[in-house]
Structure 1
């Protein structure tokens, strides 16, 4: 299978998945408990703007998503769980055993806004990461073109090694965002608040 074919692995049928009940203490291996967060998705996403679209990249790591408000956490948790089999298969094809997952969304700023899915790269600790698999969520993803205000979303898998709790940069087409460095203190504060809320229940 070619690299491009692996990148554009077709999303398998989405099945319902069990997810932790909101407010249930599910602390596992140092994870904060689910259901006590208050952050919005916009609070934990890296954003950058080109001339034709906005790009948003949100880590699907539970250490991050458990800090979101309950509805957002539940939605992203279900998404990740529903794609687990497809992610494992696509990552295995690329020779990656523990992929780092990102929820990537393109927002069109004008008609016929073209995008190249494979060009979303991440730089962490001076190492460049390119997606090893892309699993489309929206039906017209393969067209790689947006109308004004249209969105296209996919789950990206990157090779293990991205340090989520250190500053990293997201780049596309010569534009780079270092928003994540400013997000890290927000995550630290919210993690402490989540543990306090869970402890006082």
Structure 2
């Protein structure tokens, strides 16, 4: 069972998101918050698998709440849920360690797909967000590619293989099947990749994989 704490200051949005998520029998919304500070308290109390946070909330916004959760309960993955797809929000969300970024206006099925992907250890960006990230990376592509490839020199050949599959949005379980490894071994490789490259999460790793030319599609 994937356990979720949902935070949004609009009650109707909470009802709608909860209704969508709970159509999947493998997902349970264990608590709901109306602001970022309450969300942090509920996450600490319930220790869910995922905290789904609206970006704009009273008392403490979702991005600041994500930063506190990353520092205090890093085992809880964060998905940002928002109406806004401005670059500033996307960049801050990635910097604060978010594993997913979903738009409220997206297809409802994306909520379930995103939650399941993040729960499996993958990263998930709404396709509209992924297109914006890749378009932004398009500027200065050659210099970014050279810098990314130089960073990959710190990795072993196996770690580069794993990074390429992370860049394709694959979970640890899927990577293990692809490379005929145990899931624990893949998890160790992913941890080593993040450490060696100085990254905070799989979304950032996927971007590096794209910049280095390991993948050629959206995250």
Please, what TM-score do these two structures have when normalized by structure 1? 0.24
Please, what TM-score do these two structures have when normalized by structure 2? 0.22
Which structure shows the bigger proportion of residues in strand conformation? 1
Which structure shows the bigger proportion of residues in helix conformation? 2
